[in-house]
Amino acid sequence: MPSADGRTDLLGLTRAEIAAALIAAGEPEKSARMRANQLWHWIYYRGVRDFSVMTTLAKDMRERMAEKFCISRPQASRDLQSVDGTRKWLLKFADGEEAECVHIPEEDRGALCVSSQVGCTLTCRFCHTGTMKLVRNLSAGEIVGQVMLARDHLNEWPSPPEGRMLSNIVMMGMGEPLYNFDNVSKALKIVMDNEGIAISKRRITLSTAGVVPMIERCGAELGVNLAISLHAVRDDIRDVIVPLNKKYPIKELLAACASYPGLSNARRITFEYVMLKGINDSAADAKELVRLLKGIPAKVNLIPFNPWPGAPYECSSDEAIRKFSDIVFNAGYSSPVRTPRGRDIMAACGQLKSASVKRSKAEILREQAAKEAAAANLPV
């Protein structure tokens, strides 16, 4: 993908694509694979962006590289820190579109919540991102770029073997990762690569609202942990709060879960369940949930509803949440209540949103024409 200045961005390319880009730029074919491996090490193991420090490349090659290539990062246009240590970056990509990314530190580790799209198509009624339209998919480079940027800020280069504050990744930011699977998959393969960022598939969780036809492929191709945004146990309720349910109802969703590749008691599916007062939080709902999960190696994650301006729901009472959790727990499932993190900076689950708006083709063309006219110093 050419950057604004015409150089090719290496971030987000596979090793084979890097090698091909080198050949296309006139580097010798016979050493392209080796060079791609060397670049990979500098980019993903050391986090280097400047070709001049890549001492395993000959000096003249470093110079040629800098002319033709770059290693990008999204720009952090806002950097907010919560009282609980959670950090949220508003990222601006090369075309000006924006998405958010959140780091949630624990005592001796931490998770990065990564976005897959600018906006979302799903319109889940309790989710702030759902009030945005889908603006566009993020590219593999833009997805990996979130991890790179967080690593830059956390000072975790070269890749530390242990004690990382960015130890886990959750694909739980803005967007539906299974509606942008090709790019998500390419990005996660880069993140998992042992000679680079090296975060294992066991430390990566992909969350989906239930794009049934993609679930099998996610397990077979990536083998990451799966989380399902279930949130309701009856189709009539789920149809309203997770409209994707009208396309893929609960029964089909659970069947896809039951056959998720690699599933075992040691590797369970997480069922996320947002606690909405008076909507899905009764004891009967909890019992029905237990019945539905029968036969699926599962754990349940109860998420207290995180409010946002204009949200049509309220969070269930502590007592309702405790009762619900007890019923699920007593049936043999782990059922922790997720502690809200970063609520004060609107970084908690379901609070992410950016100002990007979908523009019509005509608007984009008008903007382009205006830019070109400005560049050529012409009146619009």
Tokens 């008691």 belong to residue: 265
Q: Contact between 9 and ligand SAH (CB under 6 A)?
A: no
Question: Which residue of 159, 183, 205, 306 would you call a contact of ligand SAH, by CB under 6 A?
Answer: 306
Q: Report CA dihedral (48, 51, 55, 60) to the nearest 10 degrees.
A: 170
Question: Which residue of 159, 207, 245, 354 would you call a contact of ligand SAH, by CB under 6 A?
Answer: 207
CB of residue 95 vs ligand SAH: minimum separation in angstroms? 22
CB of residue 274 vs ligand SAH: minimum separation in angstroms? 4
What's the token pair of residue 324?
């619900």
H-type alpha helices, the chain: 15-24, 32-40, 59-68, 140-154, 181-192, 212-221, 235-241, 250-258, 283-293, 318-330, 361-375
Q: Contact between 146 and ligand SAH (CB under 6 A)?
A: no
What's the token pair of residue 316?
């269930």
Q: Contact between 168 and ligand SAH (CB under 6 A)?
A: no
| Residues contacting ligand SAH: total by CB under 6 A | 16
Q: Contact between 346 and ligand SAH (CB under 6 A)?
A: no
Which long-range contacts (C-beta less than 8 Å, at least 24 apart) are formed by 309-316? 310/131, 311/126, 311/128, 312/125, 312/126, 313/125, 313/126, 313/276, 313/277, 313/279, 314/276, 314/277, 314/278, 315/275, 315/276, 315/277, 316/275, 316/276, 316/277, 316/278, 316/281
Measure the CA–CA gap between 336 and 303, rounded to whole angstroms.
Answer: 9
Q: Contact between 342 and ligand SAH (CB under 6 A)?
A: no
Q: Contact between 274 and ligand SAH (CB under 6 A)?
A: yes
CB of residue 209 vs ligand SAH: minimum separation in angstroms? 4
Q: Contact between 285 and ligand SAH (CB under 6 A)?
A: no
Q: Contact between 127 and ligand SAH (CB under 6 A)?
A: yes
- Of 42-50, 61-69, 119-127, 327-335, the window that binds ligand SAH (rule: CB under 6 A) is 119-127
- Of 184-192, 204-212, 258-266, 285-293, the window that binds ligand SAH (rule: CB under 6 A) is 204-212
| Active-site annotation holds for 70 | no
Q: Contact between 272 and ligand SAH (CB under 6 A)?
A: yes
Query: What values do phi and psi take at 89, rounded to 5?
Result: -110, 130
Measure the CA–CA gap between 65 and 90, rounded to whole angstroms.
Answer: 30
SS3 call for 252: helix
Task: Give the residue with the Cβ less far from ligand SAH, 150 or 242.
Answer: 242
CB of residue 104 vs ligand SAH: minimum separation in angstroms? 13
Instruction: Give the nearest residue (CB) to ligand SAH.
Output: 350
The DSSP symbol for 267 reads S
User: Nearest-CA neighbor of 39 among 74, 68, 80?
Assistant: 68
Measure the CA–CA gap between 46 and 167, rounded to whole angstroms.
Answer: 16
Task: Give the residue with the Cβ less far from ligand SAH, 33 or 338.
Answer: 338
Q: Contact between 137 and ligand SAH (CB under 6 A)?
A: no
Q: Which of 27, 97, 98, 100 is catalytic?
A: 100
Q: Contact between 176 and ligand SAH (CB under 6 A)?
A: yes
Q: Contact between 100 and ligand SAH (CB under 6 A)?
A: no
Q: Contact between 256 and ligand SAH (CB under 6 A)?
A: no
Question: Which residue of 19, 102, 172, 184 would you call a contact of ligand SAH, by CB under 6 A?
Answer: 172
| Active-site annotation holds for 349 | yes
- Number of other CB atoms surrounding residue 17 within 10 Å: 15
Q: Contact between 292 and ligand SAH (CB under 6 A)?
A: no
Q: Contact between 350 and ligand SAH (CB under 6 A)?
A: yes
Positions in 50-89 near ligand SAH (CB under 6 A): none
Q: How far is CA 4 from CA 43, 287, 362, 363, 374, in A?
A: 20, 55, 22, 20, 17
Q: Contact between 208 and ligand SAH (CB under 6 A)?
A: yes
Measure the CA–CA gap between 92 and 102, rounded to whole angstroms.
Answer: 14
Instruction: Kindly list the residues in this chain that would bind ligand SAH in the complex (CB under 6 A).
Output: 124, 126-127, 172, 176, 207-209, 229, 272, 274, 303, 305-306, 349-350
Please identify every residue annotated as catalytic: 100, 349
